Structure 1
Amino acid sequence: MKTVLTIAGSDCSGGAGIQADIKTITMHYCYAMSVITALTAQNTTGVYGIEQTSDEFIANQLDCVFTDIFPDAVKIGMVYGNNSAKVIADKLSFYKAKNIVTDPVMVSTSGSRLISEQGLENLKKYLLPISALATPNVPEAEILSGINIKNLQDMQNAAKIISDKYGCAVLCKGGHLEDCSDDLLYFDGEFYTYPSVRIDNPNTHGTGCTLSSAIASNLAKGFEIPQAVENAKAYVTRAIGVKLDLGKGRGPLMHNYILQNFK
């Protein structure tokens, strides 16, 4: 069985973060492991508290994983602490981790800040350069590239800037675009566009976490980045499309839609 490690924050409501990642990895027939960087008190209406995991304990968790069940891929999500990104990058480099997918989480769906300024600088300095793929949404890609993004051409420019600067492939997610929700991948000097029909469903809590962990799962299974992205996009589209409706705010995806016939 292929193994996937998620390094992220915990979402007690189960829609995003570690919980979404474990569900997604499991539904891809991979074995999920986790390193928790922060505890959050949140639900579909917002984030109401964050408790940071110490850098020492993050390092301890990483040592326990890598010295026992070595992951075939690694997904990185919320990195809350000022120095957590460097600690994670140092450990991943030491253990020669492979297939690293970094989702540069900066702000939650509800608008809460999920990384400090110093944490963001360390993410850019230490984590992105060791990643195989970064998966920013439009606001995150604007921060990482320094340009405004209004359309697919802007996404192309931003993705190339980020890739050239940090040396990783870049998937710029188009969910924030007004005219479409296409995603754009810049990989090995080429652009790949993944057209998407916007689904009439406000329940998209945890979409970014789900997509990045789905990509990591596909990389663990041996798919190249362009195909891994295509497979992951199909999974997320279906998980949104079944229109699960839970909670009072923006609800979660149905990560286990594949099991509908087994209820």
Structure 2
Amino acid sequence: MTNIAPPLVLTVAGSDSGGGAGIQADLKTMLAHGVHGMSVIAAVTAQNSRGVQGYWELPPEAVRAQLDSVLSDIGVHAVKTGMLASTALVETVAEVLAGAGAPVVVDPVGVSKHGDALLEPSAVDAVRTALLPVATVATPNLWEVEQLTGVKVVDEAGMREAAEAVKALGPRWALIKGGHLPGEPADLLFDGTREYRFTAPRHDNRHTHGTGCTLASAIASNLALGADVPDAVARAKEYVTGAIAAGFPLGTGIGPVDHGWRQRAALDQSRS
């Protein structure tokens, strides 16, 4: 019997030494979705539950070599990008992914959960002009929307304007994450014509480190599994909501979401 490889998903992002976000969160999310996760490390962070103590980006040639190694031999069914740190890395990754022939989910990471900057100010324009145009789905939070477009969202009524502004930068779909607004969390997905609103209960849990990375990786995983964009986002939203609900304390600060919550629930059920 010959085993068949599962769908292939590549993350291009930074490493989180605390294991809650970045490459580590991406690969856990991919495993939870039954796809084969691969990684291109663009930066290394010194990071724990209290914040980011430092980061070091890899040389563009090292990032390009990792991309070329995976794409030339293994291939991909979907790609997710996260922390890219600098103009050179953004432009390198955008150039390669423009020819990858697979859907690309861009999480335009600008700042960590703790408020630490993860993108050089000079690189913001490269995200706008080089990276977002190759994106199938862009997943900015409200702070990143303002950083990229100048649109400041203060309530849910402003999310359509934000979606239009992000969509104008080139992605096929813009997913505006509204979790930081008061009231019921709601995200808005927009392709220039169609609009989808996704809601979820707000869980009273401060341990939410890695939420953005996890959502983008879940979207990429579902795209690789054959879902269309609205369905992939809906499935990813359901997964990340469960992961937030199960988030656990770690260290003395903000703990991570639980990427294995479904497997843990299934295991607990089998034991009962």
Question: Shorter-chain TM-score: what band?
Answer: over 0.9
The Cα offsets for residues 130-156 of structure 1, whole Å up to 9 and x where unpaired, read as: 100100001111222222201222111
Rounded Cα–Cα distance in structure 1 between residues aligned with 2:260 and 2:221: 15
- Assess if the C-alpha contact under 8 Å between 2:175 and 2:189 holds in 1: yes
Residue equivalent to 2:165:
161
Residues 172-216 of structure 1: CA deviation (Å, up to 9, x unaligned): 001111233111111251111011221100000000000000000
More displaced 10-residue stretch of structure 1: 214-223 or 182-191: 182-191
8 Å CA contact 2:132–2:170 kept in 1: the answer is yes
SS at match of 2:125: helix
Q: Is the 8 A contact 1:35 1:62 kept in 2?
A: yes
Give the TM-score normalised by structure 2: 0.93
Matched, 1:220 2:214: no
| Aligned 8 A contact 1:36 1:58 in 2 | yes
Equivalent residue of 1:254, what SS? Answer: coil
Deviation at 1:217, TM superposition (A): 0.2
Secondary structure at 1:67 match in 2:
helix
Secondary structure of the 2:98 match is: helix
Query: What is the identity, as a one-letter code, of the residue corresponding to 2:89?
Result: S
**Structural mapping, 1:28-177, within 5 Å:** 28-94=33-99, 96-177=100-181
Q: Which amino acid aligns with 2:206?
A: P
* Match in the other structure for 2:3: none
1:85 deviation in Å? 0.8
Pick one of 200, 213, 219 that aligns with 1:196.
200
**Offset of 1:251 from its aligned partner?**
0.3
Amino acid at match of 1:205: H
Aligned equivalents of 2:128, 2:119: Cα separation in 1: 12
Aligned residue pairs, count? 262
Percent identity over paired residues:
43
SS of match in other structure, 2:41: strand
Measure, in 2, the Cα distance between the counterparts of 1:125 and 1:12: 30
- What runs of 5+ residues in structure 1 fail to find an aligned partner? none
What amino acid does structure 1 have at the position aligned with 2:159? M
Q: Normalization by structure 1: what TM-score?
A: 0.96
CA distance in 2, matches of 1:40, 1:167: 28
Query: Deviation above 6 Å: which 4+ runs of structure 1?
Result: none
SS at match of 2:213: helix
Which of 184, 199, 204 aligns to 2:188? It is 184
Q: Is there any run of 5+ residues in structure 2 with no aligned partner, and where?
A: 1-5
Farther off after superposition, 174-183 or 220-229:
174-183
Distance in structure 1 (CA, Å) of the matches to 2:30 and 2:123:
26
* 2:253 paired with 1:242: no
**Corresponding letter in the other structure for 2:58:** T
